[in-house]
Amino acid sequence: MSNYYYLVSSLPELRLDDYKEPYRVNEFVEELYANLEPEHCKYVQDILWMNDNPNIIDIVSGSENTWLDAKGNWTFEEIKAFFANPESLDPKQNAYILGFINALGGFKKEDKKINRLQAENLLLTRFYAKMMNHENSFIKEYFTFDFQLRNVLLAINKRKFNQDEINLLEVGEDEVIQKLQKSTANDFNLSMDLEYLQGLLAAFEKDDILFREKLIDQLRWAKIDQINTFSYFKVDVLLGYLIKLIMVERWLAMGAARGQEAFLKISEIDSKLLKQ
């Protein structure tokens, strides 16, 4: 595997809790595309789906004004064009999106309504299925962790707000998911398996949504560092840095002062959607 000594050694220090990012995601992506081998550029494209997914859901939900307006592989308008003409998508590279569009078509044919949470479940199930079987070991391990973390958060919210409408994401067979679905224990009988769980449960006992969201991103940040402990100058370090930069830019877009208000608004919207 190629080593990227110059790129890795020149990376500015990045911290989640300081909002002075060295450059924007788009600028970093341009630098990566200019210096990485073609096969590694595809890895970057795969990670950028993290920003495309929310925009896709906004379009499905009928929103014209994305609250973060984060660009992934495509602009908001480009994604709208894909939905109008899905045949223009590369079926190999964008299989999970095409599968999502087909699933939405199934809802329309059966004259069913689909709310935002259902749409997210359909899209993310396909997204994680691809990333958790990725050829790159960093992407595979990180998104397997993120898939599990996302399901833990769904399970906690489902129990906390007594909402049967919340469904966990299912990709293959997973013992953790089974416990999250069936266990009645306070910790889902998972404290021995997930070292972060007790801290996460404690955070959900508080009303500070901003603190909770920051903790979740800190867990993701720490996982990236753990995976790349011995990667040094490999492409994995650059991929991890990209995910970190996406997280920092997300907090920048909200602004620390507006963060609490934004998360409260999201929670209120999700609560209403669950009642649909």
Per-residue pLDDT tens over the stretch 252-265: 877 644 544 544 54
Q: Give 234's strand partners.
A: 3
CA-based diameter of the chain, in Å? Answer: 55
Number of neighbouring beta carbons within 10 Å of residue 271: 12
27 pLDDT more than 60 = yes
Q: What's the CA gap between 249 and 245, in Å, rounded? A: 6
Number of neighbouring beta carbons within 10 Å of residue 79: 19
| Global confidence as pTM | 0.87
139 pLDDT band (50/70/90 cuts)?
very high
Q: What's the CA gap between 63 and 41, in Å, rounded? A: 30
95-98-102-104 Cα dihedral, nearest 10 degrees: 120
Return the pLDDT at 151.
Answer: 92
Quick one: average pLDDT of 165-185? 85
Kindly report which listed range (57-71, 137-151, 188-202, 211-225) carries the lowest average pLDDT score: 57-71
269 pLDDT band (50/70/90 cuts)?
very low
Q: Fill in the amino acid letter for 96.
A: Y
